[in-house]
Amino acid sequence: MVECIHIVIPIIPTAQARPRFANRGGFIKAYKAKDQEANERTLETFLMEHQPDEPLNGPLWLGVRAYLPMPSSKSKKWRESAKYGEIRPVVKPDLDNLIKNLKDCMTRMRYWVDDKQIVGYLEGTGKYYDDGAGTRWVVEIRQTGVSN
């Protein structure tokens, strides 16, 4: 059995922010920044439409393409090369934090039982510049085989 979920989320991809810390009554408390919470709520709003009825089981392959804004300060030639994927973003946010933000939201929404089920990333996973279709996330989940 092979199940595939394909999702396009038309928002600017954002990374998982570091937690903030506060001293409350002699105890250190970790919390999320307000903008991180807002980003997660927006992402979850778009993910809700594609949420499976039951969490996916077994090994999963995840594909994530994060299309980031094109820098306006670059030349037309540079922008054309970036549009076709010949130049890729090597700036913040880093890919690990982008994927972590997405995986944390999808885990909370019960797309899968646990993100430890993700056994690998699909070809093409990475950061790209906006190719003319807008900044967005493109997410694919493939469920194959049986878990041990």
How far apart (Å, rounded) are the C-alpha atoms in residues 21 and 75?
42
Flag whether 61 is in a domain: yes
Q: Is 112 helix (H, G, I), strand (E, B) or coil?
A: strand
pLDDT value for 56: 93
Q: State the pLDDT at residue 31.
A: 65
CA distance 130 to 146: 37
Nearest-5° Cα angle at 49, 112 to 31: 60
Domain around 116: 3-143
| CB-CB contact of 143 with 1 (8 Å) | yes
How many domains is the chain built from?
1
**Confidence at residue 16, expressed as pLDDT on a 0 to 100 scale:** 77
Assign residue 34 a region (left: φ > 0; alpha: ψ between -120 and 50; beta: otherwise).
Answer: alpha
pLDDT of residue 33: 73
Query: What is the pLDDT at residue 99?
Result: 96
Give the pLDDT of residue 148: 54
Q: Is residue 148 part of a domain?
A: no
What stretches in the chain show pLDDT beneath 70?
Answer: 1-2, 31, 145-148
CATH number at residue 87: 3.30.1330.70
